Amino acid sequence: MYPYMPLLLAAVLLSACKGNGQQTDTMAANPAVLKEKITAQIGLQLEKAVADSGRTGDSLVRLFRPEIASAFYKEKSNATFWSNGQSWHPFADSLFRMVKEARLWGLYPEDYHARALALVYDTIRADTAAKEARMDARWWSVAELLLTDAFVRVVKDIKLGRLPQDSISLRKDSVLPDAFYLEKLAEMEKRGLAAILQSLEPGAKGYHLLKAAIPDFLNRADYKMYTKIPYPEKDSRRFNQFLQKRLAEEGLITDSIAVDSLQLANAVKTYQKKRGITVDGKAGEGTVRMLNTDDNERFARIAISLDKYKQLPAKMPVRYIWVNTSANYLEVVDGNEVKMSSKVICGKPKTRTPLLTSAISSIITYPQWVPPQSIIEKEILPAVKRNPGYLARKGFSLVDKEGNEVDPYSVDWSKYSRSMPYRVVQGSGDANALGIMKFMFDNKYAVYLHDTNQRYLFANAMRSLSHGCVRVQEWDKLAWYILGTDSSLQAGKSVVKTDSVRYWLRNKQKRTIPVRNKMPVFIRYFTCEGQKGRVIFHDDVYGEDKFLRQRYFAGK
């Protein structure tokens, strides 16, 4: 900031304030008078703020929660809290620094009066105006309200986040009472800001790993605006021109002369390898989506992911299954340690895997598959109308309401366009779409974890390929872990033993194994995570974070 800027901005503020009908005689001749004038100013500004949606009359101050500030200062008879009227208390300096460095918490400084607070601090500390500014009650009263309001919003955003609470969050404290904020303010002098904020953060290990990686991200971020590649684009020549320009910005190709398709493909491969996605040299939807993502959006993804951790239960179960549908992996967490992990295949963008919280209640060996109505309508019915032999080729049986098998060639398929009076069942076996094991848990979407007969797909870097269920590569390890930790099995009370399950699998028998000590399942969507001090980004394949950014982080 230029040396004269604080004075210039101060003059603008004072000019704006003197025209708002408030008391303009805010200068004090001595500390005692200054204290009285600050108290009067706080009272006047809060009275107006409560009556006018947070507007205090000062152009730089509009309060986020004026009713909390009013209650807080009413208890103090409008006396100062963050200063003694002439200098800041240490915890005020701590909050000012925290607001200035809010990005280290996945927050945006502008949400906490950062610009106005900087102006107040710079004005009071400016060499040529310090003495006069320190004896002006308006600056101290403005600072009081800004700091209090910033603290309230920081507390809310670190404790609950900025995303709306929903039916899967299971949080019981989705709204904090005013008394909670007043309690935290009262703790400031004894505990200090750092201890209070740390007590508000979620305990999830993933949250702290991601937060710890933010400094590295910020040091590397350049926030440069890159060329946006139009997609989809019918004009291939135009598309290639934008693609070449964008790849040149990555330093992977020249932009001075036109390049041929082979050079372009090689540059795309280099980029794909760099980003850890499928290396095929084709600039498809996923590759273009990554090329169109800049560091501003990446930081928004960090902020959104940190807030998603805040939506989890305040205390997670000791043992649970975690599925990240963006990264396509599954983890079994026990005592905050990952006991096993597996690649998974989740839903395609058009049939995304839903977010849900449930618990595995049973395991089925060699299950049958009954396709849901959506698959029957969009895939099976059109195929069988073209050729009734499709069902036999896929291993499906047609069953009527009485449970009798029906010959598909005997049905007049022209009568059915969206539904039919039959069930489609794929029998047990190695060719079954569910593979040889299914993990059942209650949910309204009819999805579950299961094996697959298309195990070769786990070699793909991009694995958003299913109809919504979660296909698990290491299904056997998951099964043995669940059965091995089921309390009923450990107590020897269950008639089901792990050797029995192995026998059924060897003999390809369909059996249902109850899990009496149900295993919690959390299916979530996180597009970034912290690993070894670095932020690792995953594809926003469902466009969820893009939507959340536009809805709740607009303009950031």
Dihedral over alpha carbons 355, 350, 226, 258 (to 10 degrees): 150
Q: Is pLDDT at 54 greater than 70 in this prediction?
A: yes
- Please tell me the total number of residues recorded for the chain in this structure: 556
User: Do strands 356-365 and 511-524 pair parallel, antiparallel, or not at all (unpaired)?
Assistant: antiparallel
For residues 179 and 267, the answer to whether their CB atoms sit within 8 Å is no
Q: According to the model, what pLDDT value does residue 532 have?
A: 94
- What percent of the chain shows pLDDT beyond 70? 91
Q: Dump pLDDT digits (tens) for 307-350.
A: 999 999 888 999 999 999 999 999 999 998 999 999 999 999 99
In which element (H, E) is residue 308 found? helix 295-310
Computed over every residue of the chain, the mean pLDDT equals 88
Give the mean model confidence (pLDDT) for residues 154-179.
82
Give the mean model confidence (pLDDT) for residues 490-519.
80
Q: According to the model, what pLDDT value does residue 173 have?
A: 63
Which two structure tokens, joined as six digits, stand for 230? 């139009």
For residues 85 and 38, the answer to whether their CB atoms sit within 8 Å is yes
Domains and CATH numbers, the chain: 5-200 (no CATH), 316-529 (2.40.440.10)
Q: According to the model, what pLDDT value does residue 130 have?
A: 58
Residue that wins the pLDDT comparison between 129 and 413? 413
Q: According to the model, what pLDDT value does residue 19 have?
A: 40
Give the mean model confidence (pLDDT) for residues 405-433.
86
- What percent of the chain shows pLDDT beyond 90? 64
Burial class (CB in 10 A: 0-12, 13-18, 19+), 456: exposed
Q: Dump pLDDT digits (tens) for 59-106.
A: 878 999 999 999 999 999 999 999 988 889 999 999 999 999 999 999
Q: Dump pLDDT digits (tens) for 181-191.
A: 999 999 999 99
Q: Dump pLDDT digits (tens) for 236-284.
A: 999 999 999 999 999 999 888 888 999 999 999 999 988 877 899 999 9
Cis status, amide bond into 382, omega within 30 of 0: no
Rounded Cα gap, residues 163 and 145, in angstroms:
25
Q: Is pLDDT at 174 greater than 80 in this prediction?
A: no
| Confidence grade of residue 164 (pLDDT, cut at 50, 70, 90) | confident
Which two structure tokens, joined as six digits, stand for 335? 């005592």
- One-character DSSP codes across 479-530: HHHHHHH-HHHHTT--S--HHHHHHHHHTT--EEEEEEEEEEEEEE--SEEE
Q: Is pLDDT at 490 greater than 70 in this prediction?
A: no
Q: Dump pLDDT digits (tens) for 9-51.
A: 444 444 444 444 444 688 888 889 999 999 999 999 999 999 9
User: Out of 160-174, 209-223, 296-310, 462-476, which region has the weakest mean confidence (pLDDT)?
Assistant: 160-174
Taking every pair of C-alpha atoms in the chain, what is the biggest distance, in angstroms?
A: 102
User: Do strands 534-537 and 337-347 pair parallel, antiparallel, or not at all (unpaired)?
Assistant: unpaired
Rounded Cα gap, residues 454 and 434, in angstroms:
9
Rounded Cα gap, residues 253 and 347, in angstroms:
34
Q: According to the model, what pLDDT value does residue 11 have?
A: 44
- One-character DSSP codes across 268-284: HHHHHHHHTS--SS---
Q: According to the model, what pLDDT value does residue 400 have?
A: 87
The separation between CA 505 and the C-alpha centre of its own chain, rounded to angstroms, equals 39
For residues 24 and 17, the answer to whether their CB atoms sit within 8 Å is yes
User: Do strands 405-406 and 329-334 pair parallel, antiparallel, or not at all (unpaired)?
Assistant: unpaired
Residue that wins the pLDDT comparison between 479 and 462? 479
Tokens 């929903």 identify what position?
Answer: 166
Q: Is pLDDT at 369 greater than 90 in this prediction?
A: no
CA distances for 192 relative to 76, 123, 253, 495, angstroms: 19, 25, 52, 56
Q: According to the model, what pLDDT value does residue 488 have?
A: 54
* Order of all β-strands in the sheet with 405-406: 405-406, 396-399, 423-426
Rounded Cα gap, residues 510 and 363, in angstroms:
10
Q: According to the model, what pLDDT value does residue 373 have?
A: 81
pTM assigned to the model: 0.84
